[in-house]
C-alpha cells in the first residue's frame, strides 16, 4: 500500500458497473481524443464542478494524459466526500484496460 501497490483495480468491471470516467485534461486536450462516454472536467475547475457528478457513492475513474492530474483529481474528490474514486492514470492506457 505504501508504494501504491494496493489491490489491483479491474477498470473494465467498474465501467460495466456504471463508473463515471472523468477526464481532467484541458478542453483542448480532450477534444484531440478521449475515452468514449467520459466527461471532461479540467482539474483546475473540478472543485467548482462537483455537481456534474452523480452521487458520492458511485464509482468514479479519473484520467488525464500521464496520471499526475488524475491523481490530483482523485484527492480533490476524496476530500469532497466521494467514496469510490480510482486513478485510472493516462487516458490511452485506461482505454486499453477497459476495451
pLDDT tens digits for range 44-96:
999 999 999 988 999 999 999 999 999 999 999 999 999 999 999 999 999 99
Residue 46 C-alpha cell reads as: 473540478
List phi, psi (to 5°) of 87: -85, 110
* CA-to-CA dists, residue 60 to 17, 28, 32, 74, angstroms: 11, 22, 22, 9
Asked if pLDDT for residue 6 goes beyond 80, the answer is no
Asked if pLDDT for residue 1 goes beyond 50, the answer is no
Secondary structure E strands in the chain: 20-23, 39-40, 60-64, 85-90
Asked if pLDDT for residue 4 goes beyond 70, the answer is no
What pLDDT was estimated at residue 15?
Answer: 95
Asked if pLDDT for residue 20 goes beyond 50, the answer is yes
d(CA 31, CA 71): 21
Amino acid at each position: 500500500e505504501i508504494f501504491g501497490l494496493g489491490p489491483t483495480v479491474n477498470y473494465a468491471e467498474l465501467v460495466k458497473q456504471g463508473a463515471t470516467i472523468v477526464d481532467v485534461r484541458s478542453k483542448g486536450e480532450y477534444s484531440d481524443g478521449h475515452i468514449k462516454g467520459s466527461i471532461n472536467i479540467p482539474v483546475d475547475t473540478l472543485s467548482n464542478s462537483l455537481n456534474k457528478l452523480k452521487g458520492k457513492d458511485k464509482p468514479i475513474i479519473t484520467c488525464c494524459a500521464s496520471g499526475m492530474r488524475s491523481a490530483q483529481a482523485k484527492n480533490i474528490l476524496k476530500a469532497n466526500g466521494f467514496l469510490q474514486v480510482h486513478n485510472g492514470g493516462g487516458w490511452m492506457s485506461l482505454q486499453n484496460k477497459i476495451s
